[in-house]
Structure 1
Amino acid sequence: MATQGYGEWDDPGSQGSRGRPHRLPVALRAPVEGRSWRELCHLVLSLPIGTVMFAYSVTMFSMGVGLLVTFLGIPVLAAGLMGCRGFGVLERARARALLGLDVAEPEPLRPRRGGAMAWMGAVFKSGSSWRHMLYTVLQFPWTLFSSVAGLVFWSCGWSLLTYPLWFWVFPVYAGQGGIQLYGDETHSVYLDNPFEITVTALVGLLLTLATPWIIRGLTTVDRLLVLGLLGPSPLATRVVELESDRGVVVDTAAADLRRIERDLHDGAQARLVALAMDLGLAKEKLTEDPRAAARMVDEAHGEVKTALQELRDLARGIHPAVLTDRGLDAALSAVATRCTVPVTVDVDLPSRPAPAIEGIAYFTVSELLQNISKHARASRAVVDVWRVENRLLLQVTDDGVGGADASAGSGLAGLAGRLDAVDGVLVVDSPAGGPTRITAELPWRSA
């Protein structure tokens, strides 16, 4: 699904050549930046577009409600709502192009069956349709104010700032000395001497510098309207997230099952098959060559021990017994002993979390320590586990070479996906040259 939030443009005027910072402060260059002109364009376009949307929605709603005494009111009202959804597409595109605001599409209509009645029922049941109509109603009075205010400030600021260049228009074509501040039957006051013209230009400069920030504040309300009424509802967004998380959980479980099957097939199963064959040969040689048979049985006994160790390791990889019996402190200490670098473990928990959360925390630390053993080239590592309110936090730190990146499609990306499936978060801080600090956050659920 597409993301939603505020976007920023990289204006050519905001930086010098080759990415060097601009010498002018932002307050001085704001009036000529592309962003300010785009936001002004958005305000100017909002008035005619808002007028059309308001007239359409009010007309269709009034007509539909008025015709509800007959069957015609239902399709008219449904058509009005669909038209408002069409305006929503236009407004999202306009906000994306002029305001840098990328809003995800709302949840689509899902009629349960075919036919016009099912389609109209889906339109009426969709909260997004009604939010779109509410947007067309609320946007009109606001844009009537914001468009006029933005244009007045912008035109007055630039007009007064450039007044020294065009004040001659008044005496030449209007027959007066300049801009008239006051006039009655006896006398008039004009801005016509150098001092007054200079003061006028300075006032215009102040207005010109302030106008981009005023317009930015006005368009902030437009952003909030688009974001709150034209995007997907929080409930629909949460449903999509849960569906995605469920897919991650299913894929992870399937991958774990394939790994267990592969380990059994290539490890213990193959060893047990070979053991059965060796015992069969020993049985055949028992009467003919007892010494050779005894030697083969002794070798088979060693193979049994090796197979049992492999099964124990496999069981530990599924869910270690020490985690169930003694909790995270003992389990993580056991994992730390298998790391190739010295590891300090500090677990500060008032009680044990739920088994599912405890298991995820264990395997998270276990995988991070494996990464340290394979890639970090570190001399030591530290594991800290603690609780903050309703969250369980894990932090694994090492003094290795750094450069770990969860977005590069590595094992960290898969680990982040697993944590996200249970509303967890993985934060990687690993600059080149180290040190590396990886923090995992999980929801706390009591056992």
Structure 2
Amino acid sequence: MATAYGPDTRNHHRTGAGSGDHPQAPRTRHLFPAVLRAPLEARTYRELAYLLLSLPISVVLFSFAITMTSLGLGMLITFLGIPVLAAGLVMCRGFGAMERGRARGLLKLDVADPEPLRGRTGGLMSWVGAVLKSGASWRHLLYAVLHLPWALFAFVVALTFWSYGWAAFTYPLWHWVFPAYVGIDGIQLYGDRTHQVYLDSPFELAVTGGVGLALVLVTPWIIRGLASVDRLMVAGLLGPSRLATRVSELESDRGVVVDTAAADLRRIERDLHDGAQARLVALAMGLGLAKEKLTDDPEAAARMVDEAHGEVKVALQELRDLARGIHPAVLTDRGLDAALSAIASRCTVPVNVSVDLTSRPAQAIEGIAYFTVSELLQNVSKHSHATRASIDVWRTADRLMLQVTDNGRGGADIASGSGLAGLTERLDAVDGVLVVGSPAGGPTTVTAELPWRG
């Protein structure tokens, strides 16, 4: 259903239907198409350098890995085989760190370091056991073995296409070298005792240059395809495992949840101490004075009781506001539609609310969605200078989607350290996503994606 609040409200349609509607940065316009730019782009030469360097590095890495592994396995009959094998795995991890750095510099691929080795006791045997039990160590060894044949193939293909392409493309400029210094008419395509074919006529020079141009234009895409395989190998074999990455994310999210809960408790304690508690203390003192004046000055006592009655009303309102800030009763009783309508009615600008849900998500997700929209509406009221806003809520598969849009001045940025950064951390703690599209001059569209978990 859709509900409008405030004067001069208008109907606004939802601008997106899922997480794919994230705002995109404007693309840079180029004078020439990509196929013409690619042969001269820095990316092409970075990736070519990566492929050419891979072969000698892989030869050394393969030789070392096979030697150490064979030596360690051959010596397993004695105790020395185990530390030798562990030392080989550690050296492979060292090579892996170098490969991650090379991929970061030449392929612009940022791969996180794998999970560190953790021995139980800190001794030598504990360290050896941690090396041998680490899946990352064995993945580094697998990379050392598998990368050599691929590096050889990529080296030959990349160097052949690049060198032949540029040589043929520029051949009309340097074909004079052959008759001047070699004593033949040009590049020989065919020759026997009775017949020879050379590329020396203007037509043949033009055809050779055209073939070379085609190779020059296609070579960058071949190089990128070869480099993409290297990207997959580095990311898949030299980075942290998915399980380790997930554990790290969960540890970080747990810290965010604990910090958020502690901050909420401090806020509640501060509000109680500075608000309702202070008023109740003043109320108790006022009633005590009224009790003393009740027999001597009944009129003054009546005035003091009347003031105390007003203080009670204010204290009750503060307690209601505090309870609403902890978890609003309307959210528990009637769901997101009614709860969001309630906070929209308190916003300083007209807000159109559209909630398209046939069922309710998990209570924790519902609470996060409510406080996310509440925080975003506070930003609209305080910072946006908007004249209208809209709230859209819908479900896409197993995700709850929220979108808050306003026609304000824009310029909102998560990186600026504002409340949006805190919202991002809170949503990350439950595998949610917050995307902000706020160009200068507006409008601002904030899309939040939460797991349903109904």
The normalised TM-score by structure 1 is 0.91
SS in 2 for 1:419: helix
The whole-number CA distance in structure 2 between the counterparts of 1:20 and 1:305 is 60
Match of 1:309 among 313, 317, 324: 317
Residue 396 (structure 2) aligns with: 388
The whole-number CA distance in structure 1 between the counterparts of 2:441 and 2:325 is 32
Q: How do residues 323-342 of structure 1 correspond to structure 2 at under 5 angstroms?
A: 323-342=331-350
Does 428-437 or 96-105 show the bigger shift?
Answer: 428-437
Match of 2:443 among 387, 411, 435: 435
Q: How do residues 169-318 of structure 1 correspond to structure 2 at under 5 angstroms?
A: 169-318=177-326
Q: How do residues 20-35 of structure 1 correspond to structure 2 at under 5 angstroms?
A: 23-35=31-43
Distance 1:402 1:35, change over 3 A: closer
Please state how far the C-alpha of 1:345 moved relative to its aligned partner. Answer: 2.1
Asked whether 1:96 is paired with 2:99, we answer: no
Residue 426 (structure 1) aligns with: 434
Q: What residue identity is the alignment partner of 2:186?
A: G
The whole-number CA distance in structure 2 between the counterparts of 1:428 and 1:314 is 29
Residue 125 (structure 1) aligns with: 133
The whole-number CA distance in structure 2 between the counterparts of 1:24 and 1:351 is 52
The whole-number CA distance in structure 2 between the counterparts of 1:369 and 1:205 is 58
Please state how far the C-alpha of 1:167 moved relative to its aligned partner. Answer: 2.9
Match of 1:116 among 124, 135, 139: 124
The whole-number CA distance in structure 1 between the counterparts of 2:29 and 2:365 is 47
Distance 1:122 1:283, change over 3 A: same
Distance 1:344 1:153, change over 3 A: closer
Deviation string, structure 1 residues 234-259 (Cα, Å, up to 9, x no partner): 11111111111111111111111111
Structure 2: runs of 5 or more not aligned? 1-26
Q: What residue identity is the alignment partner of 1:430?
A: S
Residue 160 (structure 2) aligns with: 152
Match of 2:362 among 351, 354, 361: 354
SS in 1 for 2:447: strand
Note the aligned Cα RMSD (angstroms). Answer: 1.9
The whole-number CA distance in structure 1 between the counterparts of 2:349 and 2:241 is 49
Asked whether 1:371 is paired with 2:384, we answer: no
The whole-number CA distance in structure 2 between the counterparts of 1:373 and 1:213 is 50
Q: What residue identity is the alignment partner of 2:436?
A: V
Deviation string, structure 1 residues 371-396 (Cα, Å, up to 9, x no partner): 22222233332222221111111122
Q: What residue identity is the alignment partner of 1:339?
A: C
Distance 1:23 1:385, change over 3 A: closer
SS in 2 for 1:114: coil
The whole-number CA distance in structure 1 between the counterparts of 2:83 and 2:106 is 34
Distance 1:53 1:311, change over 3 A: same
Give the fraction of aligned pairs with identical amino acids, expressed as a percent. Answer: 75
The whole-number CA distance in structure 2 between the counterparts of 1:331 and 1:130 is 53
Does 172-181 or 244-253 show the bigger shift?
Answer: 172-181
Q: What residue identity is the alignment partner of 1:282?
A: A
The whole-number CA distance in structure 2 between the counterparts of 1:364 and 1:109 is 39
Residue 8 (structure 2) aligns with: none
The whole-number CA distance in structure 2 between the counterparts of 1:160 and 1:352 is 67
Q: What residue identity is the alignment partner of 1:427?
A: V
Does 270-279 or 435-444 show the bigger shift?
Answer: 435-444
Deviation string, structure 1 residues 183-213 (Cα, Å, up to 9, x no partner): 2233222223333233222222222222222
Distance 1:355 1:25, change over 3 A: closer
Structure 1: runs of 5 or more not aligned? 1-18
Please state how far the C-alpha of 1:172 moved relative to its aligned partner. Answer: 4.3
Q: What residue identity is the alignment partner of 1:279?
A: L
Asked whether 1:105 is paired with 2:104, we answer: no
SS in 2 for 1:103: coil
Asked whether 1:343 is paired with 2:344, we answer: no
Distance 1:348 1:65, change over 3 A: same
Please state how far the C-alpha of 1:177 moved relative to its aligned partner. Answer: 2.8
Residue 4 (structure 1) aligns with: none
Please state how far the C-alpha of 1:21 moved relative to its aligned partner. Answer: 5.7
Q: What residue identity is the alignment partner of 1:157?
A: G
Please state how far the C-alpha of 1:20 moved relative to its aligned partner. Answer: 9.1
Runs of 4+ in 1 over 6 A off after TM superposition: none
Number of aligned residue pairs: 428
SS in 2 for 1:71: coil
Q: What residue identity is the alignment partner of 1:361?
A: A
Q: What residue identity is the alignment partner of 2:76?
A: L
Q: What residue identity is the alignment partner of 1:115?
A: G
